[in-house]
Amino acid sequence: MIIYLESPRTFFLQGADSTYAMAVHPAGYLCHLHWGGKLHPDAALAELCRQEGLPFSPRQPLPGLGKVALDVLAYEYPTANTGDFLTPAVDVVHADGTRGLRLLYRGHRITPGKPLLPGLPATYVETDDEASTLEIDLQDTVSGIQVTLSYTVFAGRNVIARSARITNRGPLPCTVTRALSAALPFSGREFDFIHLPGAWARERWVERHPLHSGTQSICSRRGASSHQHNPFFALAATGADEANGEVYGFSLVYSGNHFGGAEVDQQFNTRAFMGIMPEGFAWKLAPTESFQTPEVVFAWSDAGLTGLSHQYHRLYRERLVRGYWRDRDRPILINNWEATYFDFTTEKLLKLAGAAKPLGIELFVLDDGWFGSRNSSDSSLGDWFPHSARLPDGLAPLAKSINEQGLLFGLWLEPEMVSPDSRLYRDHPDWCLHIAGRDRTEGRNQLVLDFSRPEVVEAIYERIADILKDAPISYVKWDMNRHLTEVASAGRRPERQGETAHRYMLGVYAFMERLVQAFPHVLFEGCAGGGGRYDPGILHYMPQVWCSDNSDAISRLRIQHGTSLVYPPCTMGAHVSDVPNHQIGRVTPLDTRGHVALAGQFGLEMDVTKSSPETLTGLTGLVELARQTRDLLRHGDHYRLVSPFSGNHAAWMLVSPGGDEALVVFVLELAEPNRVLPRLRLRGLDSAARYRCIHGPEGEWFGDQLMCIGLSVPLKHDFASLAWHLRKVSGPSPT
Ligand code: DGJ
């Protein structure tokens, strides 16, 4: 998978249909040659890294090489203040206060498999033949600082996982002020920048615009990957669409502050980059110490956005998500949040569980409000002891009663937070992030615990582990309902305060790792005020994430469509809720709410003790359909058929790997008078096979008919929908 040619030094990383190539410039710089369609390894390509200088180019005089122009090289890992003027990947302040690195090739290693990234989430392999890893050492001769670039290429995929490790091999301390995971140069700027901005209840909408000169970027300064900018962007060749054209993806396996983008230079060439947000970041490296960046996963496809999504979906569900639940159908749940909010008693919960069971529900989740004296969002985070009025006998008896009703029991937690009105805060007022002498800014009446301090992580871990040991808890919803402000730690010396935001994430990851190792059978669902921390970092610990607090079916079309660009449908929590919808007041038909929720891990978020008999019958059918299609959800390839961003309706489908089964969903937003909707053309089916609709509008068609002519969609009312569950059939041809 990785080929090295010695003269001149050239590297070829061979993916399924793609090649990533680099060469060492005669001056020692590691330069990029190509990423895209597959190439035969040929050392002559190294010529590409020699570039003519431009007026105003800084030039390095080198014996035998003349003067090498430095602002035109296609650097793999560009530095600051030594001749390149674009966005650097790394910057360091030396002991004498000066900045600058000149990174030159020193050596490399090629090893089978993929090493772990200590303390960080990452993609992985199960056997060494699944991937090969190339590590290239670059060094600055003046300071001794070494950068080791890591590239993993996976067999049968078109993805490259990249990260960097910065080691101080010099005699003096230094401070790393920027340590991106990777940069990547492109010839030309004929690309669209696609990214997933949003807000609470409006996460991951798709935006696309042509690259322009200068920098276009995404970032988070919130201490979480955030609702506002997902740590993902793509560069799509101009004209590339869902099914055609070259697309490059950049997805950071990290849940904290991030920064990614593309800079178009004076020659209209492009440099893409991604990593931890440099603002506010300063990491001290004493001699021999190292800093490891998170991993960024590059994906490439020449089959448009669908091809790109399939690369990410397959890798993330197979080799990012881990553990017991990775390859198992997840239970269909009911969550009491929208049914009761804080207004519940044990009796009310048992009644809700009792009404849910006959619908086919398998897991009952007790959300916020079960602990301390929490009757609203004003208090008690950190006091993880059962609420004395609501759960007078504790959690275990409730969990057991739910189990006796035939349901698993799940629990909501928000371990990273503390309420100022809590016993924990009164006992340890310095355990939150804060700056002495400044106001402690609250968000949802709460403060953020200082998870950059191991003693804080340890204390909260002990409490949470006891809860999971003491009651039969099969599922945890891990919430995080505010962003980080006054990022500073009472446990850290002044010169190391710039490490706090990243050390916070390392503390969170250490906590999560310990928890998933200690409780391997618990299903964890990530959440951060809905989808505020829906990123690959979280997926390494939690195989699913609550996609958004907005449970309105029509809003969800956009949210889920954007999410599906990177994240596999089986990672998306998607629930049916009551109408009028609690977030935006919209009334949609039950079937539409159900069909939209089939795009992810299906559940209910409603008071089924008050539902009408017709609603209960409808719910029973939808739960059954979710059960019948959840295997498809876990393995199937997802196709976005009609974008909710481009018109008045939306459609998507899932197809099983062999094309034997498919689920298709179409949703109309606002009906128009006298309008016949266009036929819905499907994708990914076996063209020669016949398919029968086993749930939904009756019919039997050949795969080619479904893909070339399509299904008719006789919908006439606002918010109406159709779902087709198709199965391959054998036997006589359809008439
Ligand atoms: C925010 C979550 O996204 C909701 O689903 C719910 O769990 C609330 N927090 C509880 O406070």
The residue-averaged pLDDT of 171-200 equals 98
The residue-averaged pLDDT of 578-582 equals 98
Outline where 141-275 has alpha helix (H): none
Confirm or reject: Cβ of 414 under 6 Å from ligand 1.
no
- Going by C-alpha positions, the residue among 296, 274, 13 that lies closest to residue 134 is 13
Radius of gyration of the chain (CA): 27
Contacts of 53 (CB under 8 A, 6+ apart): 59, 67, 69, 71, 72
- Going by C-alpha positions, the residue among 413, 410, 530 that lies closest to residue 460 is 413
Concatenated DSSP letters for 387-403? -TTT-TT-HHHHHHHHH
Going by alpha carbons, the residue nearest to atom 10 of ligand 1 is: 368
The whole-number pLDDT of residue 527 equals 98
The whole-number pLDDT of residue 730 equals 81
Tell which one of 479, 542, 548, 581 to mutate to probe ligand 1, the residue whose CB is within 8 A of the most ligand atoms. 479
Burial class (CB in 10 A: 0-12, 13-18, 19+), 496: middle
Confirm or reject: Cβ of 530 under 6 Å from ligand 1.
yes
Please, are residues 137 and 6 in contact by the beta-carbon 8 Å criterion? no
CB atoms near residue 426 (< 10 Å): 11
Query: What average pLDDT is seen over the chain?
Result: 97
- DSSP-based three-state secondary structure for 443: strand
**pLDDT per residue over 242-292, tens digit each?**
999 999 999 999 999 999 999 999 999 999 999 999 999 999 999 999 999
Rounded Cα–Cα distance for residues 228 and 221 (Å): 10
Q: Is the pLDDT of residue 732 over 90?
A: no
**pLDDT per residue over 48-102, tens digit each?**
998 899 999 999 999 999 999 999 999 999 999 999 999 999 999 999 999 999 9
The whole-number pLDDT of residue 731 equals 57
Catalytic residue annotation:
479, 549
Q: Is the pLDDT of residue 662 over 70?
A: yes
Q: Is the pLDDT of residue 595 over 70?
A: yes
Please, are residues 483 and 477 in contact by the beta-carbon 8 Å criterion? no
> Which atom of ligand 1 lies closest to the CA of 527?
3
Going by alpha carbons, the residue nearest to atom 2 of ligand 1 is: 529
Which secondary structure element, helix H or strand E, spans residue 224, and what is its range?
none
> What's the 548 CA to ligand 1 centre distance in angstroms?
10
The residue-averaged pLDDT of 486-510 equals 97
Tell which one of 337, 380, 387 to mutate to probe ligand 1, the residue whose CB is within 8 A of the most ligand atoms. 337
Tell which one of 344, 475, 481 to mutate to probe ligand 1, the residue whose CB is within 8 A of the most ligand atoms. 481
Contacts of 691 (CB under 8 A, 6+ apart): 662, 685, 700, 701, 702, 703, 706, 726, 727, 728, 729
**pLDDT per residue over 670-704, tens digit each?**
999 999 999 999 999 999 999 999 999 999 999 99
Q: Is the pLDDT of residue 735 over 60?
A: no
Distance spanning both ends of the chain, measured CA to CA: 50
- Going by C-alpha positions, the residue among 613, 675, 621 that lies closest to residue 648 is 675
Going by alpha carbons, the residue nearest to atom 11 of ligand 1 is: 368
**pLDDT per residue over 38-47, tens digit each?**
999 999 999 9
- Going by C-alpha positions, the residue among 288, 296, 226, 293 that lies closest to residue 261 is 296
Rounded Cα–Cα distance for residues 247 and 240 (Å): 7
In the chain, what percentage of residues exceed pLDDT 90? 99
Confirm or reject: Cβ of 203 under 6 Å from ligand 1.
no
Residue with tokens 């949802």: 444
**Which residues, in sequence order, are bridge partners of residue 15?**
none
The whole-number pLDDT of residue 734 equals 47
Rounded Cα–Cα distance for residues 589 and 600 (Å): 19
**pLDDT per residue over 432-441, tens digit each?**
999 999 999 9
Tell how far CA 571 is from the center of its chain.
9
- Going by C-alpha positions, the residue among 355, 371, 245 that lies closest to residue 303 is 245
Confirm or reject: Cβ of 338 under 6 Å from ligand 1.
no
Is pTM beyond 0.85? Reply is: yes
Rounded Cα–Cα distance for residues 223 and 216 (Å): 21
